[in-house]
Amino acid sequence: MADSSFDVVSKVERQEVDNALNQASKEIGQRFDFKGTGASITWSGDAAVVVTANSEERVKAVLDVFKERLVKRQVSLKALDHGDPEPAAGGTSRLQVAIRQGIDAEKARTITKLIKSDGPKGVQAQVQGDTVRVSSKKRDDLQAVIAMLKAADIGIPLQFENYR
């Protein structure tokens, strides 16, 4: 009997993030508390968003609006990576928000260690680029690993693909 397997991945649907960004931008343009603050949210490259406003508080408020839109579109907030707002030219503040895609080597190592230590016997996990392939002879063991990974807080959004 052949082994069953699935892939653990961490993906963010770019179109959903783009829709959330457009909705947040529209709301920022219409809300009274953002009038005259120079608040804006735009794409910066392929996987980053830039939030600008005239104060740190306004930048954080714009980020909160963006996060609300992401949650409504079922995009995990664990995919966002940002620090504190920093001063920019002209007395404004700016915040760079990176959108993480894929599983980095450190997180992949954490996932494989977790599967080997806490998972059922006979389950193998191997890193393949930015995914982790989990295989076993028993499908029930794979279901147990999926449940275990969903319960664990790895720090990134996880999806499970190619279940066979």
Read off φ and ψ for residue 20, nearest 5 degrees: -65, -40
Instruction: Identify the CATH assignment for 4-11+103-161 out of 3.30.70.860, 3.40.630.30, 3.40.30.10, 3.60.21.10.
Output: 3.30.70.860
The model's confidence at residue 119, banded by pLDDT at 50, 70 and 90, is: confident
Q: How many helices (H) and strands (E) does the chain have?
A: 4, 9
- The model's pLDDT over 59-102, given as tens digits with 9 standing for 90+, comes to 999 999 999 999 999 999 999 999 889 888 888 999 999 999 99
Domain covering 14-99: architecture: 2-Layer Sandwich (3.30)
Rounded to two decimals, the pTM is 0.85
The pLDDT of residue 3: 86
> CA 87, 89, 95, 100 torsion: positive or negative?
negative
Cα angle 147, 151, 152 (rounded to 5 degrees) comes to: 115
Query: Would you list the domain boundaries of the chain?
Result: 4-11+103-161, 14-99
The pLDDT of residue 23: 96
Cβ count near 115 (within 10 Å):
21
Q: What is the DSSP string of 33-49?
A: GGTTTT-EEEE-SSSEE
The pLDDT of residue 1: 53
Please, which residues bridge with residue 94 across strands?
52, 86
- The model's pLDDT over 17-52, given as tens digits with 9 standing for 90+, comes to 999 999 999 999 999 999 988 899 999 888 899 999
Q: CA separation (Å) from 123 to 105, 114, 136?
A: 20, 11, 5
